Amino acid sequence: MEKSQLAGIIIALVLIGTGLIWALSNKNKLLAVHKITNALVNDCYSGGRGYLGTTILYKFALDGKEVNGSAAFSYNALNLSNAKAYILGKTFPVVYDPQHPLNNLILIRQKDFMQFSIPMPDSLRWLLKYVH
Encode pLDDT of 9-61 as tens digits.
Answer: 666 655 565 544 545 455 666 777 789 999 999 999 997 666 679 999 999 99
pLDDT of residue 126: 94
pLDDT of residue 39: 98
What is the reported pTM? 0.76
Identity of residue 111:
K
* Residues 93/38, Cβ–Cβ less than 8 Å: yes
Confidence check: pLDDT of 4 > 80 = no
Identity of residue 22:
W
CATH architecture of the domain 35-129 equals Beta Barrel (2.40)
**Stretch 103-129: mean pLDDT, rounded?**
94
Computed from CA positions of residues 100, 108, 22, 66, in that sequence, does the dihedral angle turn out positive or negative? Answer: negative
pLDDT of residue 19: 47
- C-alpha 75/C-alpha 51 separation (Å) is 11
Confidence check: pLDDT of 100 > 50 = yes
If we measure between CA atoms, which residue out of 63, 114, 65 comes closest to residue 93? 114
Average pLDDT of the residues of the chain: 85
